[in-house]
Structure 1
């Protein structure tokens, strides 16, 4: 156990100099550090400084560590540390482990931004039941100041077996004064009706009403809030392209949080949906995601091969529902929601046909155990195949301002798919808004 952020006094720090591989998104850089077969003079117990933050500055560098996960799917490495590195300031790094127990024998996508999502890959030495890991710019000696240790997550325990979830939604990142309470409540309750078990949201900041709603969801357990104070460390961009939006890091660290959420969910969720807070991945031929995925996992580009294990990435086409046009009947302009901040997505039924000549953006459903690395709109490294969802089977409902100003009402399609769920959706939204004290 680790009470009050302290390591157990019987834990022994074993320092091994092991290869560390640094992988930086969208750059052709992979630096493997030299292997030094030497056990350094180290303290007899593990230091007590354990990070309880989602962003941990790496001492003597311009880099940041986020989290560490056990990942034994690759032959040469066991630990994957997720971080944010300054791309033009790469240092030799050393992985150090805190090993529990006493041993008698020991053996040796950046989009142009200056900072990028990064992996540091480490190999656990033999005879080490590692519980924590840290990254250093020099080998650990008595002269090295106390480093900050990251707990190693996703360690399989025979004693504690958490029920595996079917679906997790990863939302990143929430920032600014975003206070679209009604649309968020409707989207979360829609996901619950579709069979989602948990929603993970990385929050830098939001409006006061949305904060109340999300805290209520968090206390219930349906939403997992991850504090993401990236703006305290970097000049983050509110856009996706450095040449247009400037800043140090793409879109408040969106690529980092998506990868962190994937690894956070890897051992506890069969499928992970990667989309934004104002998007719903909506099945059109099935009443829920469970039924749809039972069909889709049997689909493979090469059915003569291992069938259902091959397709691990399901790409979902984005369909924009324009906010400026409303359902003329007004049947869902409900009085109890009039003073709730945000967009009522039930009122917006006019959908754009995507411009497929320009490759419209897509979001995805993935099987995380078979994915190694993702970007915003696609998987970068995986152990399987991708499948493009036919829009008639599933597409995104994305209620937002249009970017295609030339489209008029006659160019749009009526799409009342959300209305099929209104009988359960409306009372469920009322319930969560009342629980958060946002309606009487």
Structure 2
């Protein structure tokens, strides 16, 4: 601790999270055990053992929902717990897709979220205006959805006299996505019954239920018999997480749901405007996303739980799945028309979009960028034999 409070030192251990993607740097946990008699530290710093007499060059204030600071000390506060917190990794490259942001926030609300947490590396003015509106409305007591935004700047370093970031050197994966995921797990563990991990262009869809809460309750109930129930009993009767397989709704060709053509265009809505998806679900742990019990998870990965105290339920796609709205990963993939998401949630979603955008006069849906429709051209060339199976048919 620092300031007027006593300082003490404890031994720390370092554990890398496995998802390094063969890059130079990865996220890691640095942990230490603090005795009850030492109290709650307000600040923390790192030193090598040989330098314990020195003052750390970087001192970080202890973060945490449910932690309140008094003078130089910190004590557990009394924060209200929400049933679902949604964690979304970094917004970057001057992120400007306000339409996508609003839709993701409102779908999260409809599905049961009480809090959405985002990480800001670089955003455009229209996105900043949207976030400011949500934060202000919650602070004034006019909105039940809490939106939290954490600054998320990667470290910088000097190379030949020029300041560069980790991303410019491609030495850490996707703007520190894994670090953001595990930061959110720990930051909101004590004030969340469940934590939902997804991206801004994804929504975890319950197929037969109106909310995530109803889906999870049924998944727990379905596994009360047999060997799985025996294993669950060992882990105190509940899953640590629920894994959802992903399918792609392709944004290269508009395919608005019937009855929502006007709203799809007006609000640039993914859910209302794109109903053509790949006839394929990625297998578990490949592009999967999870809803977890944070008190049963110690180390979280992007697509799996790395360490915890319970089992993971691989939710069948007929019960729930991840709807991922993006440009195609694989051109010429077989497509199916699937308007089920729009049919089930479209009316309420359209009402919420209308309400939110009425509070954002003059705010652009996004700064418009040219989006080339290459799907038809590529597939025609492929069908004519103009392209090989490994040429120009997939994109990352």
The TM tier, using the shorter chain, reads 0.7 to 0.9
What do the CA deviations read for 1:234-277 (whole angstroms, capped 9, x no partner)?
63449xxxxxxx61211000000000000011100011111111
CA contact (8 A) 2:285 2:304 kept: no
Cα pair distance change 1:360/1:249, threshold 3 Å: closer
The reply on whether 1:407 has 2:337 as its aligned counterpart is no
CA contact (8 A) 1:235 1:249 kept: no
Residue pairs, 1:226-305, within 5 angstroms: 226-230=150-154, 232=156, 235-237=165-167, 247-298=170-221, 299=223, 302-305=228-231
CA contact (8 A) 2:264 2:272 kept: no
Q: Which residue of 2 aligns with 1:103?
A: none
Shift of 1:328: 6.1
Q: Which residue of 2 aligns with 1:309?
A: 237
Shift of 1:327: 3.0
The reply on whether 1:417 has 2:341 as its aligned counterpart is yes
What do the CA deviations read for 1:318-367 (whole angstroms, capped 9, x no partner)?
111111233367642337964x6x55430111121225579742111111
Cα pair distance change 1:349/1:432, threshold 3 Å: same
Match of 2:316 among 385, 390, 408: 390
Shift of 1:369: 0.4
CA contact (8 A) 1:22 1:119 kept: yes
Q: Which residue of 2 aligns with 1:184?
A: 101
Q: Which residue of 1 aligns with 2:128?
A: 211
> Secondary structure, in 3 states, of the residue corresponding to 2:261?
coil
User: TM-score with structure 2 length normalisation?
Assistant: 0.77
**Larger fraction in helix:** 2
**1-structure distance, mates of 2:109, 2:34:** 39
Q: Which residue of 1 aligns with 2:24?
A: 114
**RMSD of aligned alpha carbons:** 2.9
The reply on whether 1:148 has 2:148 as its aligned counterpart is no
Q: Which residue of 1 aligns with 2:358?
A: 434
Cα pair distance change 1:145/1:210, threshold 3 Å: closer
CA contact (8 A) 2:257 2:339 kept: no
- Farther off after superposition, 181-190 or 385-394: 181-190
User: Which is bigger in relative contact order (C-alpha 8 A, separation at least 6)?
Assistant: 2
Residue pairs, 1:2-401, within 5 angstroms: 9=4, 11-13=5-7, 15-16=8-9, 18-26=10-18, 109-125=19-35, 127-131=37-41, 132-137=43-48, 138-141=50-53, 143-144=54-55, 147-151=58-62, 153=64, 160-221=77-138, 222-230=146-154, 232=156, 235-237=165-167, 247-298=170-221, 299=223, 302-307=228-233, 309-327=237-255, 331-334=259-262, 338=266, 342-354=268-280, 356=282, 360-401=286-327
**2-structure distance, mates of 1:265, 1:126:** 22
CA contact (8 A) 1:235 1:248 kept: no
Kindly tell me the number of residue pairs found equivalent between the two proteins.
Answer: 338
CA contact (8 A) 1:204 1:231 kept: no
**2-structure distance, mates of 1:146, 1:396:** 43
